[in-house]
Structures are given as structure tokens and as C-alpha cells.
Amino acid sequence: MKVAAIQMVSGSDVQTNLDQARDLLQTAAQSGAELAVLPEYFCLMGQRDADKLAIGEAFGSGPLQQFLSDTAGSLGLWLVGGTLPLSCPEPEAAALGAGEAARVSNSSLVFSPDGACVARYDKIHLFRFDNGRERYDESLVLKAGTEPVTFDLPSKDGHLWRVGLSVCYDLRFPELYRAYASAGAHLMLVPSAFTYTTGKEHWEVLLRARAIENLSFVVAAAQGGLHDNQRRTWGQAMLIDPWGQVQAQQAQEAGVVLADLDFEVLTACRTRLPALQHRM
């Protein structure tokens, strides 16, 4: 199964970001990809974290979800919409107390080639970092998810792939990926917007570790470059095989990173080293 990890340098104009995403996805489809994964925040890297609130959509309707549905359908792709902000249900929003700020979920939506939304994953682990120069706290505007999510993807060659969903900072929590391995996942997706600072030190080693310890393919879409809010992201979108080998990657700037994921390679790795059967 040919898979595309999309790398973007999203900015503060939503329509410009969607146009760029559409062009990259069209390139992926023309290259034979069956599955394409957009990065975290593909639709907006705003000037402020709170900018996400202004474009939040109710699950099931809205221009961002319509874009993903239409694009998946017109290109005939399985499409993972990196992340987009989904608003809290009305009863939950109405229950906010005085002084409580509104929040959105940082949600990864999966669309089938007929344009139907088949899975939703809300980012569980919210990034917080402060080295005295850079400060991030996603919990100020995001509501954490609570549940791992998988979906099944029948590839054109007849294999049924079970796919585990995660987002960016989730990568630092191996128990999530172990839960996916226990649920029979063959492929883990990690749409991300890693900071340049943390990505330089940890991005590749964490991705390869998740592949190796779960004997699974890993596909990591990324934001990669200098954004118009002056934030710099690490990039290095990549695809990794179950033996921990990087199959394809791109350092910086927008692009399409392609690789063929061979189900027989996964089976051979798990047969040769049956570590998943040896867990306590």
C-alpha cells in the first residue's frame, strides 16, 4: 500500500492552507497513494493559540470537514485530516463556570475514499514546554481526549490494515502505542507540529522506537519550516518500517513523502522476532 505523509508550513490564513493541502494531496493521489496523512494544524497555525477557537466546528459539519470529505471523495483517497479544532457539545459549553475559558478538541478525522468520516481521535496528551525562551501550554485552549481510536483500512491488494491514531505529543507516551499493538494495529499515524527545539533532539528516535517496540509501520506527517507567526517547526515527515528503518523522509518545507508499506514485511518481522507474544 502506497502511503503519503504530507509536510506543510501552514500559516494564519485558512484558505491558503487548504489550497496548499489540496495541491499536495493531489500530488499524492497522482503518485498512487491510497492513504494520505496531513499534519497537525494543517488548517491553521495562528498568530495566537486562541485563534483555534474562532474556527472551531461542531463535529459532523463545517467548511474544514467538508473540505476533507470532498477532497477524499474527489481524489479517491483514504485521508487523515491531521488535526482541526472541533468545538465542545453545546450542553458542555453551556456548563462552563464563571472565568472558565472555552476550549476545543484537537481532533484527527479519517475520511474514506467515498468521503465518509469513519473515525475521530481527540489528542489525549496536551503539550507543555518551557525552557525560558519558548513557552507552550496547549491545555489553555484545548480539551484533552480520553480514548485510543483505531480504524480498519482495506487496501487494494486485499489486506486489511488496522490503523492506530495519535497526534504529536502523544508520541512520548509509549503506553498508547502499546494499546494499539494489543488491539492488533499494523500501522500507527502521528500527524505532528513538533517544535524545532524538541524535534531536533527527539523526533526521529521516538518515532523509530514506537515502530520497533510494536513491530509496526509508523507514518508521521509534519509541519516543517518557519511559519508566519515566527514559530519554527522541525519537519522531517517520514515513514518507518516495523524494523525501525526510515523508508522515506523530507527535512523541511512543504512536500509529499511517499513509501510503499508491505504487509508481508510486517508479517515477516513479527514472525522472525515474536516480541509482541512475549509481553508479560
Task: Spell out the SS3 assignment of 2-65.
Answer: EEEEEEECCCCCHHHHHHHHHHHHHHHHHCCCCEEECCCCCCCCCCCCCHHHHCCECCCCCHHH
pLDDT at 93 over 80: no
pLDDT at 155 over 70: yes
Predicted local distance difference test score (pLDDT) of residue 206:
98
pLDDT at 97 over 60: no
| Residues 104-135: tens digit of each pLDDT | 999 999 999 999 999 999 999 999 999 999 99
Our answer to whether residue 168 is catalytic in this structure is yes
Compute how many other C-beta atoms are within 10 angstroms of the C-beta atom of residue 280: 2
Compute how many other C-beta atoms are within 10 angstroms of the C-beta atom of residue 132: 5
Predicted local distance difference test score (pLDDT) of residue 46:
95
Our answer to whether residue 123 is catalytic in this structure is yes
Q: Residue 100: which pLDDT band, with cuts at 50, 70 and 90?
A: low
pLDDT at 280 over 90: no
Cβ pair 59, 86 in contact under 8 A: yes
Region for residue 161 given its phi and psi (left: phi exceeds 0; alpha: psi -120 to 50; beta: otherwise): beta
Q: Residue 101: which pLDDT band, with cuts at 50, 70 and 90?
A: low
Q: Residue 8: which pLDDT band, with cuts at 50, 70 and 90?
A: very high
Our answer to whether residue 269 is catalytic in this structure is no
Q: Residue 96: which pLDDT band, with cuts at 50, 70 and 90?
A: low
| Structural domains of the chain, ranges and CATH numbers in brackets | 2-277 (3.60.110.10)
> What is the Rg, in whole angstroms, of the alpha carbon atoms belonging to the chain?
18
| Residues 226-256: tens digit of each pLDDT | 999 999 999 999 999 999 999 999 999 999 9
Phi and psi torsions of 182, nearest 5°: -65, -30
| Residue position matching grid coordinates 474514506 | 112
| Residue position matching grid coordinates 459532523 | 60
| Residues 18-65: tens digit of each pLDDT | 999 999 999 999 999 999 999 999 999 999 989 999 999 999 999 999
Predicted local distance difference test score (pLDDT) of residue 74:
98
Q: Rounded to a whole number, what is the distance in angstroms from the first to the last CA of the chain? A: 32
Per the model's pLDDT, the better-predicted residue between 95 and 43 turns out to be 43
Mean pLDDT calculated for residue range 64-83: 98
Q: Residue 89: which pLDDT band, with cuts at 50, 70 and 90?
A: confident
- Name the catalytic one among 40, 43, 52, 269: 40
- Name the catalytic one among 43, 88, 168, 269: 168
- Name the catalytic one among 43, 123, 143, 269: 123
Cell of 192: 505532528
- The residue type found at 71 is T
| Residues 168-194: tens digit of each pLDDT | 999 999 999 999 999 999 999 999 999
Predicted local distance difference test score (pLDDT) of residue 91:
54
SS3 label, residue 104: strand
